[in-house]
Structure 1
Amino acid sequence: MTEQFLQWLQTEHISQMLKAAILLLVGFVVASLASRAVNRFFSKNFSQHHIVLFRKLVYWLLLALFVASALKQLGFSLSVLLGAAGVLSVALGFASQTSASNLISGLFLIGEQPFKLGDTIKVGNTTGEVLSIDLLSVKLRTFDNLFVRIPNETLIKSEVTNLTRFPIRRFDLLLGVAYKEQISEVRSVLLDVADKNPLCLDEPSPMFLFLGFGDSALNIQFSVWGKRENFRDLRNSLHEEVKLAFDTAGIDIPFPQRTVHLAPQYVQSKAQSAAPLQKDDNHAL
């Protein structure tokens, strides 16, 4: 038995096994080094969540290449394995078309980076903070503390608004004043309100726009800029301060009004129909 074992060691099998083992060992080392290199090179341009995904992807792709080389060294036919993998991938593709679409969309989102963790985005009627960006979906937390999962395919096909991408935001206040008011006076009051509000930025400066003549009011847009983190406080305080300033200056914010004109024939017919009723009432009295 010892002689047979020595003969087997002298055959090509042991050398093939050693080569395969060396390939696997080198594969583990190369995959580990490559994943660490990804962490160093992409740390400035990508978030930590994306870096982890890239590291795993690079690690397993390189390791799979070395495993395939080791199997070939042991005598396995890669064409058979590739054929089986192709058949399996086709079957999985038909079975999970939606998942594959979300996976590809997730790679596009990671590469494009329209938003990152912690950003506040709006997708359709849903607005919330980004909790995670995965290969299949994006998780949001809405302002009323609801958890929302949005598939990546939906994000690719929809309009996505990033509300916190830039450091400052503009708030547009739409209002109407009575026709009797002087537009110059209204402009002066609004600019004074913005000047006294500490949350309004001086640069870019506030903007006053006269939009036109409405049904019941002169339509005006007053736009101010504020820091991203102060946007909600700016919006709430500006509404209150404009209302107080208008009350102090005697500027009216009218409610919708309608003027009804009656035709003379209609008024005459109504008067004639009411006359017999009055006569009957007097007779009854």
Structure 2
Amino acid sequence: MNEETGTAVAETVQQAAQVTVETVAEVTQGVAKETRTLLHIDDLLGYFTWANVMHVATSVLALLIFYVIYRLIKRFLKKRALVKVQPHTAVLVSKTVSYVFWALMVMYVLSLFGINLQAVWGAAGVAGLAIGFAAQTSVSNIISGVFVLSEKAMKIGDYISVGDVNGVVDSVDLLSVRVHTLDNQMVRIPNSAIINGMLVNYNYFDKRRLVFSFPVPYEVNMDEILALVSAVPASCPSVLQDPAPAAFYDGFGDDGITMKLAVWFNRADFIKVKNEVYIAIMKLCHAHGFEIPFTHLDVNFYDAAKSAAAKAPEAKKAAATRTTRRRKTESAD
């Protein structure tokens, strides 16, 4: 009896274990199947054929060749072609080459996956219109940047003035021009402001002219002063003699007649020329004993007590005079 009971229990346990194993196997197979379906593993494995592997290898090799060609073009432009152009033009050309290369690479990769590029271009056109309406200011700056670059009105290192901003050009891009002021602050000037405003480039020409203006006393010998001032540029080493300097009178002022001295110099000697000419003019004045006229201001201090004491006798005299006149008038009546 006990043996029969033990046998039955063993068979029951064995059957339960077998059912459990079969259930686990079915669940495992189901999970694996769902996972393969969800991750498209079967589809991916279908792509890993010898032909597809060769196609991917060829594509990767083509991308590497294109990248090597791109780097060679960049190196050639940097060492040979861009040396002859202005720095900001070289930067713009380099960026354009980079953008074109990466755009071609993206289109090539998309074509490898069988994506219709015409549909992409159509979507890009619609997106471009939307972006254009949303960013009209940026588009205006880009168009203005093309004109700024084509006019070649400035280059990196030039000292320019646009409106109230003065500074040295650090970069010329499609959207803006960046300058740093004399107190070393970076200022970004939109290209539209340059096109619509007035741009002054102090470094565009190699030579510049500077005009010094100062009054001369009316009582001096004007011919002598004119001859003396005309000789000032000769004592200034940084002043150019060609074009020749010019000294002339330019109107009558409140303090004296206005004398002007115009001199030419190399743009790098701006500060040096100002110092040399001002020092030479002051030495001229000291050497010949005349001073540059200027407005004088006399200050008189007012003392109320002294003023009242000084006016008291006059007031008494005036009062006595009025009294005498009044008495004479009464006597006549």
TM-score of the two chains, using structure 1 as the length reference: 0.76
Q: Which residue of 1 aligns with 2:188?
A: 149
Shift of 1:89: 0.9
1:232 aligns with 2:271: yes
| Range with greater deviation from structure 2 (111-120 or 148-157) | 111-120
1:43 aligns with 2:83: yes
Shift of 1:9: 5.1
Aligned residue identity for 1:112: E
Shift of 1:172: 0.3
1:282 aligns with 2:322: no
Identity of matched residues, %: 33
Unaligned runs of 5+ in 1: 258-276
Paired residue for 1:160, among 189, 196, 199?
A: 199
Q: What is the distance in 1 between the residues matched to 2:162 and 2:228?
A: 37
Q: Is contact 1:193-1:241 (8 Å) kept?
A: yes
Shift of 1:90: 1.1
1:91 aligns with 2:126: no
Q: Secondary structure at the match of 2:220?
A: coil
Q: Is contact 1:23-1:69 (8 Å) kept?
A: no
Paired residue for 2:103, among 46, 53, 64?
A: 64
Q: Is contact 1:16-1:74 (8 Å) kept?
A: no
Q: Which residue of 2 aligns with 1:261?
A: none
Q: Is contact 1:36-1:55 (8 Å) kept?
A: no
TM-score of the two chains, using structure 2 as the length reference: 0.66
User: Structure 2 vs 1, CA of residues 146 and 56 (structure 1 numbering), >3 Å: closer, same or farther?
Assistant: closer
| Alignment of structure 1 residues 177-192 onto 2, 5 Å | 177-192=216-231
Shift of 1:29: 3.9
Q: Which residue of 2 aligns with 1:80?
A: 119
User: Structure 2 vs 1, CA of residues 108 and 38 (structure 1 numbering), >3 Å: closer, same or farther?
Assistant: farther
Q: Which residue of 1 aligns with 2:71?
A: 32
| Alignment of structure 1 residues 184-203 onto 2, 5 Å | 184-203=223-242
Q: Which residue of 2 aligns with 1:109?
A: 148
If you compute each CA radius of gyration, which structure gives the higher value, 1 or 2?
A: 2
- Cα deviation, 1:127-155, whole Å, max 9, x if unaligned, reads 21222333322222222333222112212
Q: Secondary structure at the match of 1:42?
A: helix
Q: What is the distance in 2 between the residues matched to 1:222 and 1:203?
A: 15
User: Structure 2 vs 1, CA of residues 281 and 131 (structure 1 numbering), >3 Å: closer, same or farther?
Assistant: farther
Q: What is the distance in 1 between the residues matched to 2:219 and 2:106?
A: 83
Q: What is the distance in 2 between the residues matched to 1:231 and 1:108?
A: 30
Aligned residue identity for 1:138: V
Q: What is the distance in 1 between the residues matched to 2:114 and 2:47?
A: 21
Aligned residue identity for 2:228: V
Q: What is the distance in 1 between the residues matched to 2:318 and 2:85?
A: 95
Q: Is contact 1:19-1:73 (8 Å) kept?
A: no
Number of aligned residues: 261
Shift of 1:247: 4.0
Q: Is contact 1:31-1:60 (8 Å) kept?
A: no
| Alignment of structure 1 residues 116-135 onto 2, 5 Å | 116-135=155-174
Q: What is the distance in 2 between the residues matched to 1:110 and 1:167?
A: 21
Q: What is the distance in 2 between the residues matched to 1:104 and 1:225?
A: 37
Q: Which residue of 2 aligns with 1:173?
A: 212
| Alignment of structure 1 residues 265-280 onto 2, 5 Å | 280=315
Q: Is contact 2:235-2:280 (8 Å) kept?
A: no
Q: What is the distance in 2 between the residues matched to 1:34 and 1:115?
A: 27
> Larger % of helix: which?
2
Q: What is the distance in 2 between the residues matched to 1:25 and 1:114?
A: 40
Aligned residue identity for 2:84: K
Q: Secondary structure at the match of 2:84?
A: coil
| Range with greater deviation from structure 2 (24-33 or 159-168) | 24-33
Q: Is contact 1:194-1:224 (8 Å) kept?
A: yes
Q: Is contact 1:137-1:151 (8 Å) kept?
A: yes
- Select the structure with the greater relative contact order (CA < 8 A; seq sep ≥ 6): 1
